[in-house]
Chains A and B, each alone.
Chain A
Amino acid sequence: MTTRAVEAWTLEPLKRFVSEAAARLVLLMTPAGQVMAQHGFSRAVDVMSAAALGTAIMASTAELARQLEQPPFAALSHQGERHGIFLADLSTNRGRVVALVVYDVDVSSVGLVQLFFGQLVSDLQQASPTEGVPKQVLASDFERELSDSLNTLFGR
């Protein structure tokens, strides 16, 4: 299984998390759905779908919390028969990052994922550069940026 990153500082924390939590698939992305790093995906279309769906869920739950006049939910966990999904966001020096984790229930558990997610948060906060502003993707550049990101994520 490959682990690749568009934002290089996310790579080592992600590799450590995948190894410790025994995660099957992981996406790190911005709240807007721009993928920063991935583990385990083999097709670009899957990454794009997962990123769009993951950030949409985060946006929906954040709005639900706002309607309830509560702070945003910390994490969302959904367990199926064979796989579980863990979705949460975290704060770094480069802004908020959304993490989508898929794990096999035979190999890992929500407890393990939660436990090592705490370590991932800490590792990403330490690894994130304090200098430099992340480049904003303009509509005119979107397709090229997306294509470049996917090429990096899949080693093309």
Chain B
Amino acid sequence: MTAGGFAHALDAVTRVRGVRGAMLVSAADGLIVADQLMEGIKGPAVAALAGSLANRLGRAMAAAGMGDSVFWHLQCTAGALLVVPAGSGVLVVAVTDPEVNVGLARLELLRAAEAVG
């Protein structure tokens, strides 16, 4: 996939009301592959910490015999982090407001993950 393709995959995610930014993150490295973020979001920090969390959660899921993780929703008082791991070791990450439509955002994240491969 090209850089344009990555940007296109994120477009639909960022169009969901309440989504403040979306990123493709290399899970192993914690580095940003592509991003569309509103000003004020610390993209590299979110990417590094999401990558680290993916690694640990993956091991926890494996230890518990629950298979691969499909979707995470980390809900906080001022917003949420939604993550869908794509097959190629890339995480599709959305940073959202608290009142985001989680179902719609999840759907777009899953579509983006499928497009990224």
Q: Which A residues are within 8 Å of any B CB, using their own CB?
A: 79, 105-106, 108-112, 114-115
Residues of B within 8 A of A114 (CB): 31, 44, 48
Docked-complex contact A115 and B44, CB < 8 angstroms: yes
- Closest chain A residue, CB of each to CB of B42: A115
Docked-complex contact B55 and A111, CB < 8 angstroms: no
Q: How large is the interface on B (under 10, 10 to 19, 20 to 34, 35 or more residues)?
A: 10 to 19
Residues of A within 8 A of B25 (CB): 111
Docked-complex contact B31 and A112, CB < 8 angstroms: no
- Closest chain B residue, CB of each to CB of A111: B30
Docked-complex contact A112 and B44, CB < 8 angstroms: no
Docked-complex contact A109 and B55, CB < 8 angstroms: yes
Mark interface residues in B36-52 (1 if CB within 8 Å of A CB, else 0): 00000000110111011
Q: Does B104 contact A (CB under 8 A)?
A: no
Q: How far is the CA of A26 from the CA of B25 in the complex (A)?
A: 26
Residues of B within 8 A of A109 (CB): 28-31, 48, 51-52, 55
Query: 14 A-B pairs, CB-CB below 8 angstroms?
Result: A79-B29, A108-B52, A109-B29, A109-B30, A109-B51, A110-B29, A111-B29, A111-B30, A111-B31, A111-B48, A112-B30, A114-B44, A115-B48, A115-B49
Docked-complex contact B55 and A106, CB < 8 angstroms: yes
- Closest chain A residue, CB of each to CB of B32: A111
Docked-complex contact B51 and A112, CB < 8 angstroms: yes
With A115-B44, A115-B45: A110-B55 Cβ-Cβ less than 8 Å: no
> What 13 new A-B contacts, CB under 8 Å, besides A105-B28, A110-B29, A111-B44?
A79-B29, A109-B28, A109-B31, A109-B48, A109-B51, A109-B52, A109-B55, A110-B30, A111-B26, A111-B48, A111-B51, A112-B51, A114-B44
